[in-house]
Amino acid sequence: MEKIFKLKANGTTVKTELMAGLTTFMTMAYIIALNPNLLTGFQQGPLWNGVFLATCIASAIAMFCMAFLANKPFALAPGMGLNSFFAIVVTNIAAISGMTYLASYQTALIIILLEGIVFLILTLLKVRDKIVDAIPLGVRLGIAPAIGLMLMNIGLGSNAGVYSSKGGPFFAMRDFFGALNPSTIATNAGDGYGQLVLTVATMFIGLFVIVILAKKKIKGAVLIGMLVASVVNWAAQFIFFGNNPFAGITADKFIPPFADMAETTLFKFNWAGLVQVGWASVVTLVITFCIIDMFDTIGTLVGTASRAGMVDENGDMPQMKEALLSDVVGTVAGACTGTSTVTTFVESAAGVEAGGRTGLTALTTGILFLACIFIAPVAAVIPAAATSAALIYVGVLMLQGLKKVNFDDIDQFLPVALMLIAMPISGSIGNAIGLGLISYTVVKVFTGKFKEVSVLTYVISAIFLVKFFLIV
């Protein structure tokens, strides 16, 4: 282990890395079920099973690459936002061409494959490295805090939703704390009010346990906090609602549906369908996926690495090329197995905060993803509210990066301020960075400091302007 991952040089141990990997897994395990839900419109069946297996396998492959090529603790999986966009693309292809959803899905997988190939070329030519370098230091300093707010928004806003006979989802921040008074949300949520209260209680119990243990410098504070929150939730479900949280754990659900994957998604590229889409649309979609994926990945790597102290004084991270290459491999593997773009997850920050510093953390998370092929029901019993506690805590810590920002320099602070609000609201790291770069460039140009902006920064800003206003 020491020889492969250089644990001593990175100031860590096998135990710490394993705990960090488990922590990361628990914060992002939701994607295992959520991804096939989003990509199939919540329709159970052979395609759902195929996407489920693809999610586990492609994520694991990407994380193994991250572990052995880059020796970094970052986890990868089909990206949120990108998967929703992919589902929209599939639906549009079906509507335009008249093909079935499955045939349209198999057509859209080719677009992801092409995206991966384009990224591979850009990575090998070190173009992506140059794009990273083109992001001004002031913008880079704002990425980690913006991701922190995004994590808090996910934890409090969208990670744990409650449904009731009156609809939903109902969320902690918007609906519980946003209500005028308790009776308002009790009326609005109806029979889901009790579950909403339990959700709020679970996430804050977990959060406070994490904070208290962290202040006492107890290792594994994040993981312990999530486990405590889970136990509280399970007990309350049984005592107050008469629910068995482990009811879904049945013997038949432990058998991986490989036959369904072979039938629906594994190397199932519908090249004939691509002709019906039209090459102009294909090129536009590939470019759009590339832009979003590239800056989501870059933003996550830079932001999380900054929090972990893995960057130099210029904000550069060693082995960036290898980390980006892992992302590429994951995307290609995802297309071949049957899922949308694989990218670096912001939840990696939870593992980093738990002490993860090397590829052993990523390897651990990848093994757990692969194991979910056989133990998916076990992973499914972790309450979303428990993972919210970890996301909120890590988000708070990442806000500490703001102290490095020069608040007296509007050139630097304006892009940061815009990213702080844009990232949690848009849900896109890449788009937020794009907005930051555009604002940085505009201010520099119209204050006579245009020479301080690199040529590549001008190009990237222009690309984002085109994406925002012209690509439809």
Tens digits of per-residue pLDDT, 201-253? 999 999 999 999 989 988 778 889 989 999 999 999 999 999 999 887 777 67
Q: How confident is the model at residue 315 (pLDDT cuts 50, 70, 90)?
A: low
Burial tier of 46 (Cβ tally within 10 Å: 0-12, 13-18, 19+): middle
Q: Which two tokens stand for residue 135?
A: 């992001």
258 or 401: whose pLDDT is higher? 258
pLDDT at 102 over 60: yes
pLDDT at 3 over 80: yes
pLDDT at 64 over 80: yes
pLDDT at 128 over 80: no
Query: What pLDDT score does 72 carry?
Result: 95
Distances (CA, A) of 162 to 147, 167, 207, 245: 25, 9, 19, 15
Tell me how many helices (H) and strands (E) the chain has.
21, 4
Give the count of alpha carbons within 13 A of 107, CB side only: 27
Q: What is the number of residues in the chain? A: 472
Q: How far apart are alpha carbons 216 and 394 in whole angstroms?
A: 17
465 or 380: whose pLDDT is higher? 465
Query: What pLDDT score does 210 carry?
Result: 92
Beta carbons within 10 angstroms of residue 78's beta carbon: 30
Query: What confidence tens digit (pLDDT) does each residue in 264-293 have?
Result: 999 999 999 998 888 878 888 888 788 878
Closest CA to 108 of 277, 290, 263, 259: 277
Contact between 357 and 308 (Cβ < 8 Å): yes
pLDDT at 472 over 70: no
Q: How far apart are alpha carbons 75 and 23 in whole angstroms?
A: 11
Query: What pLDDT score does 471 carry?
Result: 57
Contact between 312 and 104 (Cβ < 8 Å): no
Contact between 317 and 301 (Cβ < 8 Å): yes
Contact between 32 and 372 (Cβ < 8 Å): yes
**Dihedral in degrees, nearest 10, Cα atoms 114, 339, 73, 226:** 160
Supply the DSSP string of 308-321, one letter for each residue: TT-S-TTS--TTHH
* 64-78, 242-256, 389-403, 447-461: range with lowest mean pLDDT: 242-256
- Interhelix angle 384-398/193-215, rounded to 10 degrees, is 50
Closest CA to 39 of 312, 436, 338, 269: 338
**Dihedral in degrees, nearest 10, Cα atoms 386, 61, 35, 23:** 0
* 27-41, 201-215, 415-429, 437-451: range with lowest mean pLDDT: 27-41
Closest CA to 347 of 66, 79, 158: 79
Q: Which two tokens stand for residue 65?
A: 């690459």
Q: How far apart are alpha carbons 463 and 339 in whole angstroms?
A: 26
- Identity at 248, one-letter amino acid code: G
Closest CA to 246 of 380, 372, 386: 380
Mean pLDDT over all residues of the chain? Answer: 89
Question: Percent of the chain beyond pLDDT 90?
Answer: 54
**Dihedral in degrees, nearest 10, Cα atoms 378, 380, 381, 385:** 140
